[in-house]
Structure 1
């Protein structure tokens, strides 16, 4: 691939972007692990992790097929992903400055709404699966 101003990465700015192959994968994995550790410092994420410890194994018993089990498990993981993204947004907003600003409030409110929607979706999927499994 030819180097152009659009795809040229200055190693002086960020030498991490020059990594390739296994080195890139290993470093990315370390950064992801650090992100999970940072997320663990958030009480909401810890609560969702504890809930996942119960719901992920339960998805194998509640789901009547591998697809249903996968959807149940995915809905739980989706809540955790959205919570991590919300935490990232909040961290960036807090880094910008501690003063109140309407756009900062809006960003945090939208992140919170995303978490709420993911929780409602997860609850709806689980309620439907439990109803189908035990009420029929």
Structure 2
């Protein structure tokens, strides 16, 4: 007979979840792509501030980059699972990894389009 699993509630659940999130960040920071995306975010914020972007534009950029970070984390999770359950080369594994990569590229393009539009607007029209 298996021992009963105690379900955490309240503040204990919150603290446990925060610990898992910190662990995920520690894992993700090991990825070169994520570190590059963090640099992209930092440079983007500096550029937006330099051109006089409004607070709303800074917030939109931040939300877009948080979505990029979330998609990168999910892509890394997909890669980890595929490598664990299917270490040999398989078309299913390749497709899963390719789809995750495509999702990341879509978010990078979304961030880039917003930045080009916003920075261009401020440079051209003040």
Normalised by the shorter chain, which TM-score bucket? 0.7 to 0.9
If the length of structure 1 is used for normalisation, what is the TM-score? 0.81
Q: Structure 1: any 5+ residue segments left out of the alignment?
A: 1-10
In the alignment, does 2:30 pair up with 1:51? Answer: no
CA shift, 1:61, in A, is: 5.0
How many angstroms apart in 1 are the aligned matches of 2:5 and 2:80?
21
How many angstroms apart in 2 are the aligned matches of 1:43 and 1:113?
17
Please name the residue that 2:22 is paired with. 33
How many angstroms apart in 2 are the aligned matches of 1:33 and 1:97?
27
Please name the residue that 1:129 is paired with. 118
Q: Structure 2: any 5+ residue segments left out of the alignment?
A: none
Higher RCO structure, 1 or 2 (CA under 8 Å, sep 6+): 2
How many residues are aligned here? Answer: 124
Q: Aligned to 2:89, which of 100, 107, 112?
A: 100
Q: Residues 104 and 65 (structure 1 numbering): CA distance in 2 closer, same or farther, change over 3 Å?
A: same
